[in-house]
Chain A
Amino acid sequence: MSKPSLEKVYQWLEEVKDPEIPVLSLVDLGVITNVTISDKVRIEMTPTFVGCPAIDYMKNDIIETLNKHGQEAEVDINFKKSWSSDLISEKGKIALKKFGLAPPPDSKLFTDLEILENAECPRCSKTNTELRNPFGPTLCRAIFYCNDCKEAFEQFKPV
C-alpha cells in the first residue's frame, strides 16, 4: 500500500463522526490535532471535555476506518493542543444547527452566565430564549428554552 497524502487521510477522517452527534465529523469537531504519515498513519487527538466518555469509541472508530482504507493507524490522545468550541468548523456549525443543536458562540465572549442567556434557537433562528441549565444530557451541551417555539432546545456549550 502506498503512502496516502495528508489530504486523503483528512478525507477519510471526515467519515468518522461524533458518536453522540452523528452529523458532525471529528475533523469538523476540531478534535484532530495532528496527522503524520510514515510507515503508518499517526493521529493525535484531544477530547472536547476531559471526562468525555466517547473518546475511546472515537479512537477505535478512527483506527477501524483507516484500516478499512488499507492503512495502519495509531491514535495518541493528549492535551498538547487544548480543544475549544471555537475549533468547530463553519461547516460543522451549520451541521449542528441542522441537527437541532444551537452552535456555540465565541468562547472568548463567555465570561459570565448572563452572556449565555440568549442563544439562537436552532428552529426559528430568533433569540427570544432563556438558559434553563448550563449542564445538559452530555457534558458538551446546555439546555435552553425558546419562548417563541415554546420548546426546549440544546446548545453546544462554548468552552
Chain B
Amino acid sequence: MNNEALKELLYKMADDQLILGHRNSEWTGFGPLLEEDIAFSSMAQDKVGHSLALYTILQELGEQDPDTVAFTRNAEQFHNSLLTELPNGEYDFSLIRHFLYDTAEALRFEMLTQSSFEPLAQLSAKIRGELRYHTMHANTWIKQLGSATTESITRLQKSLEYALPYALGMFEKSPFENALISEGIFAGEQVLEDKWKRKVEEVLAQTQLQLPAWDTITPHLGGRVGKHTEHLQPLLDEMSEVLRIDPTAEW
C-alpha cells in the first residue's frame, strides 16, 4: 500500500476535524440559544475525537504521537481546508459552514467505509453513524432559517456566497489522487465533490436560498498544501498555549 498517499489523506482529514472542532468549541458559552451552544460544543468534542483517532492511525504508520502532531506544528504544516480555519463570524456563517463542511465530511467517511485500508474503513463505519446527528442538525436549521424571515434568509444567502469558494477548496486534488484511487484507498476528490454538490442542491432546494451556478465559483485552494489564511496561526497559538507554557502539564 502506498503509505505516502495514505498519510496525506489521513493528515488532511485529521487536520480538518481538529481545526473545525476547535472553531466549534469557540461557540461554548456564546451560542445564540442554549441548545445551539450545546450542539456546537458536542460536535466539537466529536470532531476533535475523530482527529485523535485519525492521528492515532498515523502514529501506527510511523508518525509522531497525536499530541505532538496536533500541538507543535506551524500553520504551513497543516493540511486542513481553508473553510475550516475561517473565524466563526456570526451564527449565520457558522451554520452555513457547518452545513457545507459536514455534508462533505459525512460523504467522505461514507465512501471510506469501502476503503481497502482496513483500519480506516473500520473507523469510518463508526464515525458515519455519529455524523448523522451532525448533518441532521445542519439540515434542520438550514431548512428552517433558510425559509424563515427576510433577515434570516438574507444573512444565510450572504454567508453562503462568501463560503462557497472556500467550500470548493475542500476538494483540492491530492498529488496522490491516482494512487489512492487505483489502490482502492479512496475513490477520490472528484467523486466526493460531485456527490457533495448533489446533496447541497437537494437541501437548498427546500429553502429560499439561491445556489449560484457552480461554474461561476472559483475555488479558494491552498489549504491542502499548507498555504493558509492569516486566521490559522492565531488559532494554533491559542490551541497550544498550555503546552507551550508547560510541556509537562497533564490535562
Question: Which residues on A are within 8 Å of B, measured CB to CB?
Answer: 46, 49-53, 78-80, 82-84, 107, 110, 112-113, 132-137, 139, 143, 157, 159
| With known contacts A51-B49, A134-B137, A79–B126 Cβ distance under 8 A | yes
Which B92-130 residues have a C-beta within 8 angstroms of A?
Answer: 119, 122-123, 125-127, 129-130
Residue from A78, A112, A113, A135 within 8 A of B42 (CB atoms): A135
Residue from B43, B119, B132 within 8 A of A135 (CB atoms): B43
Interface of B, helix, strand, loop or mixed by DSSP: helix
How many cross-chain pairs have Cβ atoms below 8 Å apart between A and B?
A: 71
Report yes or no: B136 in contact with A51, Cβ–Cβ below 8 A.
no
Interface of A, helix, strand, loop or mixed by DSSP: loop
CA distance A33 to B15 in the complex (A): 29
Contacts of B46 in A (CB 8 A): 49-51, 139
Question: Which residues on B are within 8 Å of A, measured CB to CB?
Answer: 35, 38-39, 41-43, 45-50, 52-53, 119, 122-123, 125-127, 129-130, 132-133, 136-137, 140
Report yes or no: B39 in contact with A133, Cβ–Cβ below 8 A.
yes
| With known contacts A112-B136, A135-B43, A82–B125 Cβ distance under 8 A | yes
Contacts of B42 in A (CB 8 A): 135-136, 139
Most buried by B among A49, A110, A139, A143: A49
Contacts of B38 in A (CB 8 A): 133, 135-137, 143
CA distance A79 to B121 in the complex (A): 9
| With known contacts A113-B136, A132-B35, A136-B38, A51–B129 Cβ distance under 8 A | no
With both beta carbons as reference points, the residue of chain A lying nearest to B50 in the complex is identified as A50
Most buried by B among A49, A51, A79, A132: A51
Contacts of A46 in B (CB 8 A): 126
